[in-house]
Amino acid sequence: MDHADHVRLLEGGIVTRGGTWGDFGSGRGAFTMAIAELIGPEGMIYSVDKNQAALQEQARAVKRRFSDQQPKIHYIHGDYRRWLPLPALDGAVMANSLHFYEDKRAILKSIHGYLNPHGRLILVEYNTDLGNSWVPFPISYDGWQVLADQSGFERTSLLARVPSSFLGEIYSALSYKIAARDK
């Protein structure tokens, strides 16, 4: 996959410029840069990863890609499974990060808590339920629809699919937070 694929996977869920977004498990920043392109310099991104070296590499890659106008990004060295001091987010992206954890509900509860009422979650994941040693706990789109509903999200929809030589296909899906008063 390349940058155009990353943007294509997110663009149906990020339809307006600006806003405050989180990229959870951002790694070297492939999807952070896609978010930055879609929300523009008006927006703010909180890029969260537990690998400090990956965040530093990400910061350098962002400077190279956006040499003309730098996006606003806060790099947060931390584990998103634990509470982080973040503002209410308009949206969150979890791209190829949820599949590392068997207990997805606990993680989704944390992400749900970071989102403002009716905030959006974009999941990017391998479209299979069969893992391996590199991707231990993927979740197919069908499985995601069920889990999202059970985890306080609604209106889940498929955004895009990209072929992958590794596990066949990657998809992106958009889900909206169910606000407490809506439950």
Neighbours of 180 (CB within 10 A): 8
pLDDT digits (tens, 9 = 90+) for 130-183: 888 888 889 999 999 999 999 999 999 999 999 887 777 999 999 999 876 544
Q: CA–CA separation, 64 vs 59, rounded Å?
A: 9
Whether the model pTM is above 0.75:
yes
Q: Crossing angle, helix 30-39 and helix 3-11, to 10 degrees?
A: 60
169 to 6, 74, 76: CA distances (angstroms): 13, 31, 30
Question: What percent of the chain clears pLDDT 70, i.e. is strictly above it?
Answer: 98
Looking at domain 3-182, does it have CATH number 3.40.50.10440? no
Confidence of residue 23 (pLDDT cuts 50, 70, 90): very high
pLDDT of residue 180: 66
